[in-house]
Structure 1
Amino acid sequence: MLQQVPENINFPAEEEKILEFWTEFNCFQECLKQSKHKPKFTFYDGPPFATGLPHYGHILAGTIKDIVTRYAHQNYKDVQDPSVFVTFPLEEDETVSLVAWTTTPWTLPSNLAVCVNPEMQYVKIKDVARGRLLILMEARLSALYKLESDYEILERFPGAYLKGKKYNAYRFLIQNVLRLQKEEEIEFLYNENTVRESPNITDRWILSFMQSLIGFFETEMAAYRLYTVVPRLVKFVDILTNWYVRMNRRRLKGENGMEDCVMALETLSSVLLSLCRLMAPYTPFLTELMYQNLKVLIDPVSVQDKDTLSIHYLMLPRVREELIDKKTESAVSQMQSVIELGRVIRDRKTIPIKYPLKEIVVIHQDPEALKDIKSLEKYIIEELNVRKVTLSTDKNKYGIRLRAEPDHMVLGKRLKGAFKAVMTSIKQLSSEELEQFQKTGTIVVEGHELHDEDIRLMYTFDQATGGTAQFEAHSDAQALVLLDVTPDQSMVDEGMAREVINRIQKLRKKCNLVPTDEITVYYKAKSEGTYLNSVIESHTEFIFTTIKAPLKPYPVSPSDKVLIQEKTQLKGSELEITLTRGSSLPGPACAYVNLNICANGSEQGGVLLLENPKGDNRLDLLKLKSVVTSIFGVKNTELAVFHDETEIQNQTDLLSLSGKTLCVTAGSAPSLINSSSTLLCQYINLQLLNAEPQECLMGTVGTLLLENPLGQNGLTHQGLLYEAAKVFGLRSRKLKLFLNETQTQEITEDIPVKTLNMKTVYVSVLPTTADF
């Protein structure tokens, strides 16, 4: 049975379990049997270790630490000790990474935890060159940076503060396989013989990258060049966790449909299983721990003739040349460069990734490179949270000029008295001279040869030639990126909504909840948080889609079991959030009331939407009575509306009654009212995608009743299209309706309308000739 990966792992206890497993099934002797008829390989080791009797684990450690690395170090002057720095993004905030130092970097692919000293001082810093936020021991700053000016210290704290901070490993795969089983009742089994070629470019890329790594690993390890393998392993760990998993979170969670989800899971399974096999000789305990859980996912049909009890029974993977696609690897590399440049600009301007921006312009002189970047445009949009990507080969169109500043500390020490004249000449260098310097890395100024570390290059915008202050620029040796850093109010609002999501997800982690745990989220902003309340209300569907849990305003239902409650400051407002156990289905996006109509000798039930779209067409009492007369056929009668036994007056704010049951009578007080805690009629929520609402409307989220009164006037597919257009004031436009935001699952006439009940339908407006 597949086991959820715990947030905290007791490594000594797990090693004991693995040893018991190996002993119970006599795994070492079984390995010897499997290799009995293979070519002999003789290995000579020194005396047994002081910690116990020798076994093949000691031989392994001796091989790696004493012979292979020592041989490489002593025979190649340029070889360094195999110690590296590697970063681990935190789950709670992926813009912040832990910096770890290790002399055994080959263990990183199966890494599950990093250690800190609880009493020593740690710092959170900003890397000036890369714009990244990092956490590391303050005493180790000098090992990572040559100059204090290369970083900015933001916070100081003892190591104990970092206890419990989490980062992703193979846990993400397990979580989403379990989600698939629970939510979709689909059993996921991996069969490497029946895996289909994925149409998704990132799947093809990571599989290609994995095969390239295997090929490199085979060649270098055959020559015992461990020191060349280490950087590639570190790079692959970064690629898998910080790029593939990050870019495919939505696919792995099933948001693009089940078929696409299964393909993503197959890809991740393939990579992780190959990685476990590749690393098994070096991290026998951790790879065994991972494999014993992962092997539950292996289709028994694919391994009928193999003994798969232990990871150490499996042979090392062999290169599958047909999966290697260098063109795809190059295209993704181009995309990564653009994203990294954009992140540096955001960090430089202190604009968190939560806040969307209008446009990114990518300028590259190679049309093929631009074509590659275009094919991966959607990932740039998602990773940089921008609305639009523009590609160009003409930087003059944007009035961009290069200027230079000397590094005063570096050049001042070196040039001494000549520094002043050199500084003046550096500042007078033309944009064309600096572009040449970018390509060659050297330039002669006043008789002195200068290099990259001596000069800082900056981009400016010449307004006389079309430059504009709305952009901020950054470049590498090939691409130049311009980012529009002037967000409008709607983007600020969305950023605020993402801040709310961030607070909710942090509380989830604090409670040790996993994605399949069902919860309900309640919120309350203090009176000065009017703006915050309005943002949450207008982005309820967006927040729900992300957190996959109902979001409700206070009060918390007395019957709910509270898991955690916390108050937090958010942009000057106090936000209180409560998570409760269990989940109720999401309600309608718009405020509503249920109705009991008791008039003209008959009784019927129905619903009235108090606004539609959200924030527009709000009803007062007079309009409510008019709509009741129209929809429910109550004519020639003076109506009275009651909540409980109290008659509603003209000054009553009907929105305050949202979710309640009202009784409409011919004037007399009602008798017993049959109230309901949920909306009586079937309904869908609407999300407008690619157009602005018309007819003086503002809202892009609405609700559509599929019937009203209860059991009557059911909508057809054509009626659905007509009413959706009517909600957003788009009666003159043609629409298409979809079940997902990526518009891959269209709602066609053969889909029964009633099956859409309580779902979100995405509304796409078809272009007209006037749009071109």
Structure 2
Amino acid sequence: MFQPVNPKQNFPELEKQILGFWKENQTFQKSIDQRPVGSDYIFYDGPPFATGLPHYGHILAGTMKDVVPRYWTMKGKRVERRFGWDCHGLPVEYEVEKELGLSGRKDIVEKYGVNEFCEKCRSIVLRYTNEWESTVERMERWVDFKNDYKTMDPTFMESIWWVFGQLWDKGLIYEGHKSMHVCPRCVTPLSNFEVTLGYKEVSDLSVIWKFKVVGQENTYLLAWTTTPWSSVSTMGLSIGPEFDYVKVKVGDETIIFAKQRLEFILKGIEEYEIIEEFKGAKLVGTAYEHLVDFFNELPEVKENSKVYHVYAGDYVEVTEGTGIVTINGAYGDIDMQAAKKNGLPIVMDVDMDGHFNALAKTYQCLFVKEAESKLVEDLEKENKVWRKERYKHSYPHCWRCDSPLLSYATSSWFVKVEAIKDRMIANNNQIHWVPDHVGKGRFADWLNNARDWCISRNRFWGTPLPVWRSEDGEVLCV
């Protein structure tokens, strides 16, 4: 019934024979043409960047992407599979910056020119298309390269504008000022998903600051931070009102912190005296002296009687730190909410490129991570540091250039994902997932925690948002 098969096969040669047979007989195209129009199965395939060569991850994902269309083809569906190229975005810009020896947004604007930079991006985006086509063909994946699409094509960008317009008309687009993760090197915000791509274990400088209590001699509130640079423009402190706090006499000084952190705060100190225990609520309203006096003449600080006081916060924890945390609405989502709730000003003393600006005076032009050591050293001399040490924790980095990200308050355009979250969760429950735990577990968890999606970037090479703003502030989507 079957012809005998030689058990000594040359698999690379056999592979070439199969590929040759498919090509000669146009097998892939026939698998489409033989299925009737109207019996389509639509398969969306996220396009790769062609500025780099394919690697194992692409091959693995490509194999899975090939299995699904083949299955539905065998079920009688017409499955057209146009290959695409992701031509826009930060990965392309980053490659061009390296090639031109540029370092970030400022260099692009001042040294090279935006138009010239975009044209250079355009020239490299299809650099490795031949290598991609060869690799995809060798892995025996069926896709249509002849009718490929490119995200930089005007027709594709117009389709993005159409989607944006649909969301706009439904009231699902807004411009918001929020604390987001930004890359200081790329000088742009990142989406929540992009942030999750770059977490790393790092050892950062942590500091326990001493904030002197107004009207109490040699008495200090101890606040812990793993981002000492952000403490410069701190406008308030938070405590947990239900937690137990202590006043402890150490030498000539009295320090205040959460009772549960006693061992952590006083490690290495043998002689001390607990002189008072009380609930955190007693500290609310306590005035203190700030670490620096840089902002005392700023109108928003000088005219605000609420600055440099202690406030209650339901987010304060006593499992680490001191049970007292700083409030700086400029550099953290929780902090921004606390600042707004308590009427505290938001002072931006750092630009999006991660360098202190003129408001920071002594530290102007220094990158925040570089300034930390100098800041701590300066404040140690003024007796405002209880202790400093390295702290190992997981911290987000830019998925493309590997720079540490900053939490930063900035304006961006968002899609109201939270407004449609319930619908997405309901639809997800109707999907037959294989394996089941992916849809009911990982993906469901992601949906349950989905937040509004930042879709704008402060960069150059990409699809511009179809939003126009007049001089009098009117905003139109065209």
Normalised-by-shorter TM-score class? under 0.3
- The structure with the greater share of residues assigned to helix is 1
Which structure has the higher relative contact order (CA within 8 Å, separation 6+)? Answer: 2
The alignment's TM-score, normalised by the length of structure 1, stands at: 0.18
